[in-house]
Amino acid sequence: MIRAEPDVSVVIGAYEAMPYLVECLASVEAQSMDPARFEVVAVDDGSRDGTGEQLEEFAARAPIAVTVVRQRNSGGPGGPRNVGLARAAGRYVFFLDADDRLGPEALERMVALADANGTDVVLGRVEGVDRKAPRSMWGRNLDRTDVFSSDIKFTLSAQKLFRRALLERHGMRFDESLWTGEDALFTMEAYLRADGVSVLADHTCYYLVGRADGKHVTRTGGHTPRFDSARALMDLLARKLPPGPRRDALMVRPFLVTVLPQFGPVFLRDDEETRRSKTELAAPLMDAHWNEGVAHRLRVHERLRLHLVAERRPDLLADVLRFVEAGQEPTPVLEKRGTRLYLAYPHFRSRTAAVPDRVYLAGPREAKAHPGWRGGPAGSFLRRAARKVRRLLSRRGATAGRPAAA
């Protein structure tokens, strides 16, 4: 008997996932979708805490078609996901981490949205449980969008619905050489290749669970893998997009999310060897991909910190970090009749530091919070209108002062 192609293959990579796996599997079994319409492919990545046995017990009793693969530990989530993807038969694939859980009706709603709009990727709303979750992209439902027209670049985790034909057509797999960030690379490529992305913002589809034991399927291995992850994502963007605003808009993500945290307050507490290592690892990334198009999209203190990293000035960076960590506010400096606002963080207009003024120049997002700033489209309109009125009054005044004709 030939089984019909399922709508969804739920791929679960599991490593030392007990007892969280119990609730994860319960959330799968509780889905509103007909059990005949989806399957589970679960890969136990060398667990020794009963994870494999729990998966096999679930496969034996659940009304869903379940495939369990048990293998030696691979060291990260990419390998198990690739094994599961190779065995998936569904029209769509959803990657579920074994310590997280699905929201009610998640699969049914996401598949319906993808089918209705013909989109290749669906983002279902994510909520955190004792853990932070991305927020900026859940403002409203989007039937069809792309990575340039929305905030989806700030959620690059793998927990999304992907059309399997897209993944197979392009031979997409997770990079198993990366210890962290392999999901960001995979998801960004899917965004760039997708024929449309849908966002389901008004229904929680996924619960991101923080583990009390601090364990996670990914071994971070210190700061070095973070730079490896950033480099891989930057290189992908450089290959897929020509230089220009579209590339710059997406390049913000690895700089802001992956590189910048390495040069936050933690940098002050790093030993000299770690500081030197971080600066050296960042150098080729800054040389290859840091530019004005990326810089002007950041807030002043973010831009300033990365500028100093690019200039190999950890001494000046430390001053900025101490200022920020102390909760100090920069003095606003208004110039050009209020149309230009600088935020005077440390070393502003210091001759010895020689940091260009443009690094301290606030964009509209920051500047609008300061009284007296007159920038932005509305300010420009008002200034033009005021000039027009002044010219009109001036002409009228000149006319009134002329002697009457004889």
Could you give the residue numbers annotated as active site? 183
CA atoms within 13 A on the CB side of 383: 12
Written in H, E and C, the secondary structure of the chain is CCCCCCCEEEEEEECCCCCHHHHHHHHHHCCCCCHHHEEEEEEEECCCCCHHHHHHHHHHHCCCEEEEEEECCCCCCHHHHHHHHHHCCCCEEEEEECCCEECCCHHHHHHHHHHHHCCCEEEEEEEEECCCCCCCCCCCCEEEECCCCCCHHHCCCCCCEEEHHHHHHCCCCCCCCCCCCHHHHHHHHHHHHCCCEEEEEEEEEEEEECCCCCCCCCCCCCCHHHHHHHHHHHHHHHHHCCCCHHHHHHHHHHHHHHHHHHHCCHHHHCCHHHHHHHHHHHHHHHHHHCCHHHHCCCCHHHHHHHHHHHCCCHHHHHHHHHHHHCCCCCEEEEECCCCEEEEECCCCCCCCCCCCHHHHECCHHHHCCCCCCCCHHHHHHHHHHHHHHHHHHHHHHHHHCCCCCC
> What are the φ/ψ torsions at residue 372 (nearest 5 degrees)?
100, -15
Token look-up 């690892």 returns 281
Token look-up 């059990």 returns 35
334 has which bridge partners? 341
Cα R_g (the chain), whole angstroms: 27
Nearest to 301 by CA among 347, 334, 242: 347
